[in-house]
């Protein structure tokens, strides 16, 4: 593989970060995922995934404004990068191709 | 948010926040805590505060992931908004400390080796001692009734109004205690163990047996593997044997109901098999016979004045022993009004092994003194090793001064440095402990041989690990404390400008440590010298009875019946000079009685006379000095009721001319026909007591004096004749010499052990001195170079370098000598016959220490003095 490997959870986090454009940070991403997947989502798991994605260059981050709810602490806001978007598109494409190649696509 | 200002705003647990802050990378702390708190607020709204707090803690715990910890260790701040300020407990700092410690260890190999070797030696010796001490302290502590078990002791007033304490009591004691004292639940009496022959078919072994009353196995926790502990000793022909004996005789342990012959014709039926007596029991036996039938047969008319049984009592729970002892004081006198000088008391059974030495009726130490002594020695050895560490670390402080300076400049506080250096010392101690444990494991078999124990390190026992770890921790803390305080006090400006000067007080402190170390070593050496001198004195002392070339053999089986023919046959045999017998080891007489009467004896007199039944030629065989009269001889048929007494007995009875006077011993009237010089009846710890010697009908111990240098022939003759007269018994003998030495076994052991440990102490101290000398020579390389250029000779430089150390050793001698004198003077008080402490012992010890110290130091001094000054001065 010529691009960095993405785990299933990392892919979900990356997608969610793209969905929550501009307001994506630990708590919002975790809440969104929790709501959509009805899985137990731990904040620490989300953070590790985000930092890994950043190290791989799929997201970039900056420290955003502090709010009183966080005890005056700043939050780290994540934005998907062009490389991140490309990887997501590639993965989607690959899946579509595989679906299309299936002889009997209705998996009832 | 408005909830922020309400007084009851819920907050997550602060400790969870601290935990997170500790392990998470500092640059992420703000955003993570922020996210966590935000989620917490949401969860409070959703689930309520209590559940939110639980969830919060759980969430924080889930942050302990390898990812964060790894990231923290590698410490690459992604953003520079916060410069990390790690605590000393920070993993990154610990990593750094470990790295620096390891580099220091490797770079200065000699110093590290000296340090570790010293610590290892100190720790290994103290571990061995601790194992021994622990074993000594565990003796007799395994009985389930332990805290309620007591032994009965008797005090007897001597003519000097001193109290003499004995652990043998009349056989009437135990039954009387149970019948008359309500606080006594049970009482048991028993005889001292004696070796008797056990025979089954053609298998015959000599084993230690005791006679004991029925409740033995209910009082003491000696579990029976076969048989009923309540009834095993009820039947008159019963016997209880140990598992080992059962295996020896039958090859199996389920042997209840089988029969065994005891001695010549005493057939018994096994009623129980007892688990082997553990090593931690002071009471040892291989088989037990019921006491009651034995008493009926041998002592049908008991008297309160006749001692010979050990009596034990089990008290009801919550009995006030002091109150009971007050009541028991005149217990004997209440039964026999003539026994005015005897008092009785109970002593805790568990304490007997270590504490049962009595002076004038009061407990006065005992074996515990040796246990304490060795505990102190263990502490000494560790201290000496710790001092080495302190000394070398501070002496070498200049080498690490720069590190301290740099650390301080980049922000390390004093507490950081303190924990760094103490931590280093603890690490060294742990490393040394590891090696020491291995060393102890290797040395244990030898040590066990020496102490005649089976000590093991119980690796499965958490208490051992706790002790080992605290030992390492304590050593590390003690050894590391001063260097840490000292090093962390450096001022970075001075250190980095290279103008560090050791203060006078630091130098004095270090010298003080050397003095202390050598004083401790000296104490041990002087102690060793005096102990071995006293032992040599005991061995060489003229006891008034000659134990050289005397062989003991038990009179048993056919020998007892045909004693006189056997004696005559022995006298004809080659190598044998003289033959007699006695009923006890004449070097260690135990039987005593108050039943000696003479004309003019005051009614109040209760003098205890030692008694020794013998046969013909006793005085001649044991070479006891005869003052007047004669030995017992076949030529005088009336001798069977005649007596020989010692000078002490004559003095106590007030007889100027004892020969021909009447004397009644336990109801048997007779005439005194001999007066012998006082000889030692007993251990040299006690004075010589009055003694009555008489002809016994059958004595247990054969005494054979061999021709000097013909021991081999004599033994061969004895074996041949013993087989001929007494074929059923294996031939066994002991030398009087060996028997004698066995009495001083613990003193001999103490002597031997202190010798080894004093050796180790001086080795450790010299290791330290060697390190210091090495360092000093290194420091003064330039000075020596300049001196040589200016014309100093090698010898003057050696004298200069060695002199400073010698002074310290001399001071140590001055301090240690009076302390050693006092301690050893106290120790010698335990012996009634002892050496005087002489000045030459101190001189010898001092000379030894000076010599060794000089050798250690001069090696370095000479090496330093021989260096070509061109070399040492060029290296700028």
- The model's pLDDT over B819-836, given as tens digits with 9 standing for 90+, comes to 989 988 888 887 777 888
Range of the domain at A49: 8-101
Model confidence over B536-578: pLDDT tens digits? Answer: 787 777 777 777 888 888 887 788 888 888 988 988 888 888 9
B141 phi and psi, to 5 degrees?
-100, 10
**Token reading at B613:** 């039944």
Residue of chain B nearest A74, judged by CA positions: B31
Q: Is residue A46 part of a domain?
A: yes
Residue B484 burial class via C-beta count within 10 angstroms: exposed 0-12, middle 13-18, buried 19 and up: buried
Secondary structure (3-state) at B810? helix
A27 vs B35: CB contact, 8 Å cut-off? Answer: yes
Residue B338 has pLDDT above 60, yes or no: yes
Secondary structure (3-state) at B312? strand
More confident of the two residues B311 and B410: B311
Which of B30, B39, B42 has its CB closest to that of A74?
Answer: B30
Query: To the nearest whole percent, how much of chain A has pLDDT over 70?
Result: 92
DSSP labels, B299-348:
-SS--TTB--BEEEEEEPTT--HHHHHHHHTTHHHHH-TT-TTEEEEEEE
Residue B778 near chain A (CB below 8 Å): no
- Helix (H) and strand (E) counts in chain A: 4, 2
The C-alpha angle B84, B90, B92, rounded to 5 degrees, equals 75
pLDDT, position B87: 63
**Token reading at B258:** 């089988």
Q: How far is B50 from chain A (nearest CA, A)?
A: 19
Cα dihedral B334/B336/B340/B343 (nearest 10): -60
Residue B50 burial class via C-beta count within 10 angstroms: exposed 0-12, middle 13-18, buried 19 and up: exposed
**Token reading at B706:** 């061999």
Model confidence over B744-800: pLDDT tens digits? Answer: 777 777 778 877 888 888 788 788 778 777 777 777 777 888 888 888 888 888 888
Q: Is residue A91 part of a domain?
A: yes
Closest CA to B673 of B630, B719, B724: B630
Closest CA to B769 of B701, B856, B690: B856
- Type and span of the H or E element at B692: strand B691-695
Contacts A–B by Cβ distance under 8 A: 71
A70 vs B35: CB contact, 8 Å cut-off? Answer: yes
Lowest mean pLDDT among B160-169, B214-223, B565-574, B754-763: B160-169
B154 band by pLDDT with thresholds 50, 70 and 90 = confident
Span B696-709, mean pLDDT?
A: 85
B251 phi and psi, to 5 degrees?
80, 10
Q: What is the ipTM of this complex?
A: 0.86
Residues 30-89 of B with CB under 8 A from A: 30-39, 41-42, 59, 62-63, 65, 67-68, 71, 79, 81
A68 vs B68: CB contact, 8 Å cut-off? Answer: no
CB of B670 within 8 A of CB of B643? yes
Does the pTM surpass 0.80? The reply is no
A1 band by pLDDT with thresholds 50, 70 and 90 = very low
Model confidence over B614-656: pLDDT tens digits? Answer: 988 898 888 888 888 888 888 888 888 899 999 888 888 888 8
Q: Find which of A31, A44, A48, A76 to mutate to test the B interface (most B CBs within 10 Å of its CB).
A: A44
Length of chain A: 108
Q: Cβ atoms within 10 A of the Cβ of B292, count?
A: 15
Secondary structure (3-state) at B688? coil
Q: How far is A39 from chain B (nearest CA, A)?
A: 15
Residue B774 CA to residue B776 CA, distance in Å, equals 6
Rounded alpha-carbon distances, angstroms, from residue B571 to B77, B556, B673: 101, 19, 25
Model confidence over B580-624: pLDDT tens digits? Answer: 988 888 887 877 777 888 888 887 777 788 888 898 889 888 888
Length of chain B: 876
Please, what's the b/e burial string for B727-744 (b: 16 or more CB within 10 A of its CB; e: otherwise)?
eebeeeeebbeebbbebb
Residue of chain A nearest B30, judged by CA positions: A73
Q: Is residue A27 part of a domain?
A: yes
Which distant-in-sequence residues (6+ apart) come within 8 Å of A65 by Cβ? A74, A75
Q: How far is B2 from chain A (nearest CA, A)?
A: 9
Q: Which residues of A lie closer than 8 Å to B, measured between beta carbons?
A: 25-27, 30-31, 42-45, 47-48, 51-52, 63, 66-71, 73-76
A31 vs B42: CB contact, 8 Å cut-off? Answer: yes
Q: Is residue A2 part of a domain?
A: no
pLDDT, position B499: 62
Closest CA to B551 of B713, B704, B701: B704
Residue B420 CA to residue B488 CA, distance in Å, equals 10
B5 band by pLDDT with thresholds 50, 70 and 90 = very low
B39 vs A43: CB contact, 8 Å cut-off? Answer: yes
**Token reading at B321:** 């022993």
CB of B482 within 8 A of CB of B416? no
Residue of chain A nearest B38, judged by CA positions: A70
Rounded alpha-carbon distances, angstroms, from residue B772 to A104, B495, B805, B856, B861: 88, 22, 9, 10, 11
Q: How far is B509 from chain A (nearest CA, A)?
A: 53
Per DSSP, which regions of B58-178 are E strands?
149-157, 163-166
Closest CA to A26 of A6, A42, A8: A42
CB of B866 within 8 A of CB of B794? yes
Rg (CA), chain A: 16
Secondary structure (3-state) at B643? strand
Which CATH number is A38's domain given?
A: 1.10.10.10
Q: Find which of B1, B21, B31, B79 to mutate to test the A interface (most A CBs within 10 Å of its CB).
A: B31
């Amino acid at each position: 593989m010529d691009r960095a490997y993405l785990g299933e959870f990392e892919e979900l986090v990356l997608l969610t970060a793209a969905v929550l454009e501009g307001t994506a940070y630990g708590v919002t991403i975790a809440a969104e995922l929790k709501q959509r997947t009805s899985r137990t989502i731990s904040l620490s798991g989300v953070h590790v995934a985000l930092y890994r994605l950043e190290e791989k260059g799929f997201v970039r981050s900056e420290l955003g404004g502090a709010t009183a709810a966080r005890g005056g602490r700043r939050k780290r806001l994540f934005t998907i990068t062009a490389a991140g978007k490309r990887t997501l598109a590639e993965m989607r494409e690959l899946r579509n191709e595989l679906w299309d190649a299936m002889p009997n696509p209705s998996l009832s | 948010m408005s909830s922020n200002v309400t007084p009851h705003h819920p907050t997550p647990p602060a400790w969870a926040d601290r935990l997170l802050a500790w392990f998470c990378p500092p640059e992420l702390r703000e955003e993570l805590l922020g996210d966590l708190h935000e989620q917490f607020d949401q969860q409070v709204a959703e689930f309520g505060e209590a559940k939110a707090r639980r969830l919060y803690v759980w969430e924080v715990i889930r942050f302990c992931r390898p990812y964060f910890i790894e990231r923290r260790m590698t410490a690459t701040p992604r953003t520079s908004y916060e410069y990390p300020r790690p605590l000393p407990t920070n993993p990154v700092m610990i990593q750094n400390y470990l790295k620096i410690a390891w580099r220091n260890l490797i770079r200065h190999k000699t110093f590290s080796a000296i340090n570790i070797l010293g610590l290892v030696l100190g720790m290994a010796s103290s571990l061995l001692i601790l194992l021994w001490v622990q074993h000594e302290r565990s003796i007799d502590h395994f009985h389930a009734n332990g805290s309620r078990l007591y032994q009965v002791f008797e005090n007897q007033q001597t003519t000097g109004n001193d109290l003499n304490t004995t652990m043998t009591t009349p056989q009437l004691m135990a039954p009387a205690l149970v019948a008359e004292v309500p606080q006594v639940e049970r009482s048991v009496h028993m005889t001292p163990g004696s070796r008797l022959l056990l025979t089954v078919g053609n298998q015959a072994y000599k084993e230690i047996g005791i006679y004991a009353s029925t409740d033995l196995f209910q009082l003491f926790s000696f579990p029976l593997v076969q048989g009923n502990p309540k009834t095993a000793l009820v039947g008159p022909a019963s016997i209880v044997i140990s598992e080992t004996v059962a295996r020896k005789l039958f090859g199996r342990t389920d042997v209840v109901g089988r029969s065994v012959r005891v001695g010549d014709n005493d057939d018994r039926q096994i009623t129980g098999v007892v688990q082997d007596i553990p090593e931690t029991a002071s009471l040892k036996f291989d088989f037990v016979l019921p006491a009651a039938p034995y008493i009926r047969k041998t002592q049908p008319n008991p008297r309160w004045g006749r001692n010979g049984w050990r009596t034990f009592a089990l008290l009801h729970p919550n009995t006030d022993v002091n109150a009971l002892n007050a009541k028991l004081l005149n217990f004997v006198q209440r039964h026999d009004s003539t026994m005015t000088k005897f008092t009785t008391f109970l002593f805790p059974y568990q304490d007997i092994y270590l504490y049962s030495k009595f002076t004038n009726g009061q407990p006065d130490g005992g074996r515990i003194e040796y246990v304490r002594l060795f505990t102190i020695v263990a502490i000494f050895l560790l201290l000496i090793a710790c001092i080495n560490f302190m000394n070398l670390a501070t002496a070498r402080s200049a080498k690490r001064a720069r590190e301290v300076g740099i650390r301080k400049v980049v922000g390390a506080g004093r507490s950081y440095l303190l924990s760094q250096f103490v931590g280093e010392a603890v690490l060294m101690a742990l490393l040394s402990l590891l090696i020491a444990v291995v060393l102890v494991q290797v040395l244990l078999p030898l040590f066990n041989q020496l102490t005649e124990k089976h000590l093991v390190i119980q690796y499965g026992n958490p208490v051992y690990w706790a002790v080992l770890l605290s030992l390492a921790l304590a050593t590390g803390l003690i050894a590391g404390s001063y260097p840490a305080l000292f090093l962390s006090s450096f001022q970075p400006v001075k250190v980095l400008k290279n103008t560090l000067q050791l203060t006078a007080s630091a130098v004095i402190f270090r010298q003080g440590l050397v003095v202390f170390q050598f004083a401790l070593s000296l104490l041990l050496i002087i102690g060793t010298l005096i102990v071995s001198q006293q032992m040599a004195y005991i061995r060489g002392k003229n006891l008034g009875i000659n134990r050289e070339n005397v062989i003991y053999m038990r009179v048993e089986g056919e020998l007892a019946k045909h004693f006189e023919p056997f004696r005559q046959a022995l006298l004809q045999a080659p190598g044998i000079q003289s033959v007699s017998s006695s009923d006890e080891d004449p070097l260690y007489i135990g039987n005593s009685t108050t039943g000696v009467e003479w004309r003019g004896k005051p009614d109040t007199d209760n003098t205890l006379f030692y008694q020794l039944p013998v046969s013909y030629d006793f005085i001649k065989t044991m070479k006891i000095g005869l003052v007047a009269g004669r030995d017992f001889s076949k030529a005088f048929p009336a001798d069977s009721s005649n007596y020989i007494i010692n000078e002490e007995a004559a003095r106590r009875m007030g007889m100027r001319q004892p020969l021909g006077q009447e004397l009644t011993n336990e109801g048997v009237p007779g005439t005194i026909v001999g007066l012998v010089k006082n000889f030692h009846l007993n251990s040299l710890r006690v004075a010589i007591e009055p003694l009555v010697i008489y002809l016994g009908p059958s004595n247990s111990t054969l005494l054979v004096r061999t021709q000097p240098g013909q021991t081999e022939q004599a033994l061969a003759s004895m074996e041949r004749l013993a087989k001929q007269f007494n074929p059923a018994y294996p031939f066994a003998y002991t030398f009087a010499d060996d028997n004698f030495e066995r009495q001083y076994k613990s003193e001999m052991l103490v002597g031997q052990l202190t010798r080894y440990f004093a050796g180790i102490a001086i080795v450790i101290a010299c290791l330290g001195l060697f390190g210091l000398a090495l360092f000093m020579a290194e420091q003064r390389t330039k000075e020596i170079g300049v001196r040589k250029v200016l014309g100093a000779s090698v010898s003057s430089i050696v004298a200069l370098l060695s002199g400073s150390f010698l002074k310290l050793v001399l001071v140590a001698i001055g301090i240690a000598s009076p302390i050693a004198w006092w301690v050893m003077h106290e120790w010698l008080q335990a012996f009634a016959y002892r050496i005087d402490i002489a000045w030459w012992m101190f001189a010898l010890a001092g000379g030894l220490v000076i010599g060794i110290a000089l050798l250690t130091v001069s090696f370095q001094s000479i090496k330093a003095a021989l260096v070509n000054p061109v070399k040492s001065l060029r290296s700028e």
